[in-house]
Chain A
Amino acid sequence: MLPLIGLLTGIILGMLFRVPVPAWMARYLGIALLAALDSALGGLRASLEQKFNEKLFIGGFLANTTIAGLIVYIGDNLGIEIYLAAVVAFGVRLFQNLAIIRRHYFQIHHWE
């Protein structure tokens, strides 16, 4: 429940503050968001599996978002769209995590 509240609070705060993002930063923010979502879902899955480690989670969250932004920057400067690699990697893991989380909830609520 708490994660959902956090997500909603974030959405409301974003709507209230309306921070302007420069056009060049949009790509960086996009990939960083994907990394953040991946980390959050990874954390959720770990907590459901009783394996959550907060240091690992916070470190992963920060490292993933930063490195994702860095990959976009490197790709832009090399003229190669390396960020696609990050999109694929995060995307695949995101869906795997989602599937595992879904299964957990099914097990918890005995819907199976």
Chain B
Amino acid sequence: MLRAQVIIAVALLLFGFGLVTQLISREQLSERLTAQSEPDLIQIIDSLDAEISSIRSELTDQQVRLVGFEDNETSNQAIINRDKNEIADLRLLLGVEGAEGPGIVIEIRDRQRLLTGFDLRQIIEEIRSSGAWAIAVNGRRLDERTSFWRNSGSVYIDGLKLKPVFKIEAVGDAGLLYQAITLPRGIRDKLGTFNGVSVSVRRQSRLRLSAVRQ
């Protein structure tokens, strides 16, 4: 019986010792905090706040990165496809590659040599804005640098003299292009008012234009 009491006494001794140790160290901790002046405490809180927000933003960054990594494969493929398409479009527009497809052929006869490079440019801009992606004048493919001008009764394209029968071939949506040219009071009607100028437009299911540089 006494033995039991002694053992329990030892256990309670350990408990009492631990209890006081715990109480004292907690008190010291709170004393340390109360000993700090108010600005110090504000600074401590500020730095803790800053730490929390930086950890939060880091977490967000990491989550965004994770999502990015997960999407990476698909998005990479999408970027490659998009770039490929863009390059193909640009090659067509720049006339680097030969073009083939449906389109229209416009023939302009100018018996009195009244038309200027400006008139031709107008037609070309009209069909370009109607979605033509490859255009050739008298068999010569146009690119973004093509220039037209008129000198002593002849129209020149990139320095080459054009015969007065202008044959404009455009690859694109044939229906749309045809409409753009034959619109009432459109470009065909306007050119038709010139003396000796006749414009004929015909749709073609298959046109083949060569590249600017072979």
Interface residues of B, dominant DSSP: helix
Q: Chain A contact residues (Cβ within 8 angstroms of B): what range?
A: 35 or more
Contact of A47 among B8, B21, B29 (CB under 8 A): B8
Given contacts A23-B29, A44-B8, contact A10 B22 (CB under 8 A): no
Contact of B17 among A10, A43, A57, A58 (CB under 8 A): A10
Smallest CB separation, B24 vs chain A (Å): 6
Contact partners of B7 in chain A: CB under 8 A: 43, 54, 57-58
A74: Cβ under 8 A from any B Cβ: no
**Is the pair B24, A40 in contact by a Cβ cutoff of 8 Å?**
no
**Is the pair B8, A10 in contact by a Cβ cutoff of 8 Å?**
no
Closest to B24 in A: A18
Closest to A33 in B: B18
B5: Cβ under 8 A from any A Cβ: yes
A37 CA to B13 CA in the complex, in Å?
A: 10
Residue of B4, B13, B15 with highest tally of chain A CB at under 10 A:
B15
**Is the pair A30, B11 in contact by a Cβ cutoff of 8 Å?**
no
Smallest CB separation, B117 vs chain A (Å): 77
Smallest CB separation, A99 vs chain B (Å): 18
Given contacts A14-B24, A26-B25, A30-B22, contact A36 B9 (CB under 8 A): no
Given contacts A40-B8, A54-B4, contact A10 B15 (CB under 8 A): yes
Interface residues of A, dominant DSSP: helix
Contact of B20 among A6, A15, A36 (CB under 8 A): A15
**Is the pair B26, A26 in contact by a Cβ cutoff of 8 Å?**
yes
Contact of B13 among A13, A21, A30 (CB under 8 A): A13
A54 CA to B7 CA in the complex, in Å?
A: 8
B35: Cβ under 8 A from any A Cβ: no
A19: Cβ under 8 A from any B Cβ: yes
**Is the pair B22, A26 in contact by a Cβ cutoff of 8 Å?**
yes
Contact partners of A32 in chain B: CB under 8 A: 18
Interface string of A7-19 (1 = CB under 8 A from B): 1111101110111
A5: Cβ under 8 A from any B Cβ: yes
**Is the pair A2, B8 in contact by a Cβ cutoff of 8 Å?**
yes
Closest to B25 in A: A21
**Is the pair A2, B6 in contact by a Cβ cutoff of 8 Å?**
yes
Smallest CB separation, B16 vs chain A (Å): 3
A29 CA to B26 CA in the complex, in Å?
A: 11
Closest to B23 in A: A14
A79: Cβ under 8 A from any B Cβ: no
**Is the pair B22, A43 in contact by a Cβ cutoff of 8 Å?**
no
Q: List 23 A-B contacts (CB under 8 A).
A: A2-B5, A6-B11, A6-B12, A8-B16, A9-B13, A10-B16, A10-B19, A13-B13, A13-B20, A14-B18, A14-B19, A15-B20, A15-B24, A18-B21, A19-B21, A20-B28, A26-B25, A26-B26, A33-B18, A36-B14, A40-B15, A47-B1, A58-B7
Tell me the B residues contacting A by CB distance below 8 Å. 1-22, 24-26, 28-29
Tell me the A residues contacting B by CB distance below 8 Å. 1-11, 13-15, 17-21, 23, 26, 29-30, 32-33, 36-37, 39-40, 43-44, 46-47, 52, 54, 57-58, 61
